[in-house]
Structure 1
């Protein structure tokens, strides 16, 4: 199966995993020529906070989740790295439940691979606090690569 589209799921907590997420994505997208869809899902509250923090003028224009994602620092850093590596990309910022929207986005863009970051967590921690990565791995319409931050 050829890899034409890679969905890279990122969020506010991915700053520590940014290097690994970028490296792993470039390692796959570079040789395959795949387009990377940088997906940053916002809950409604996160979206509203971002509108305030990023000084969008919501009276002058309607601001989409895609617009907010484009201005997020993690996304801007990834864009810089992908530009340097010659990797094509697009940016999506759906608003809603993180897990549901990532799985939906993977289907919408017909992703061949989904990369998601996470941290090591015990089985008890997953049961008590839930795991976005686990939810996405179980529901994704395509193979999922789990990327942890460097532990060094």
Structure 2
């Protein structure tokens, strides 16, 4: 199977594993000459906080793609992709992390999703849920899980 589009889904908790996510997506994308869609998913509350922190006009027309482009985690990953000559585009989305990542994967026609997460106990997954688990179970394509440092 030839990969043309890979979705690298990031969120607020991924700043500490941006290097691992970038290295993984470069490893998958380069041999296939695939385009990476850097998708940053915000909950509504996270999105409003980022708009405030990045000094967006709250009364103006704001595009989630623009907000994602200015986010530090996306900037860090973009720098690595550019360094390795990997084509990319940035998409921002607002909604529940898991379902919005799955929706984004479907809308961009991703043949692979790369998502980060932490090691969690079975009880932690049952009690708190897991974005990565939801993506692994619901994505329309294979998912690569990148575990951050514990």
The TM-score, its normalising length taken from structure 1, stands at 0.95
Corresponding residue number in structure 2 for 1:86: 85
**Cα distance, 1:19 vs structure 2:** 1.2
Corresponding residue number in structure 2 for 1:132: 131
What SS does structure 1 have at the residue aligned with 2:26?
helix
Gaps of 5+ in 2: none
The TM-score, its normalising length taken from structure 2, stands at 0.96
**Cα distance, 1:58 vs structure 2:** 3.4
Corresponding residue number in structure 2 for 1:3: 3
Range with bigger deviation, 127-136 or 12-21: 12-21
Structure 2 CA distance for aligned equivalents of residues 45 and 19 of structure 1: 26
**Cα distance, 1:150 vs structure 2:** 4.1
How many positions carry a matched residue from both structures? 150
Contact residue 12 and residue 42 of structure 2 kept, 8 A: no
Corresponding residue number in structure 1 for 2:108: 109
Correspondence list, 1:29-68, <5 A: 29-59=29-59, 61-68=60-67
Contact residue 20 and residue 150 of structure 1 kept, 8 A: no
Structure 1 CA distance for aligned equivalents of residues 129 and 13 of structure 2: 15
Range with bigger deviation, 61-70 or 124-133: 61-70
Residues 39-98 of structure 1: per-residue CA shift (max 9 Å, x gap): 111111111111100001234x41111111001000000111111110000111111111
Contact residue 37 and residue 92 of structure 1 kept, 8 A: yes
Corresponding residue number in structure 2 for 1:18: 18
Q: CA RMSD in A?
A: 1.0
What SS does structure 2 have at the residue aligned with 1:41?
strand
Structure 1 CA distance for aligned equivalents of residues 50 and 17 of structure 2: 21
Structure 2 CA distance for aligned equivalents of residues 49 and 42 of structure 1: 10
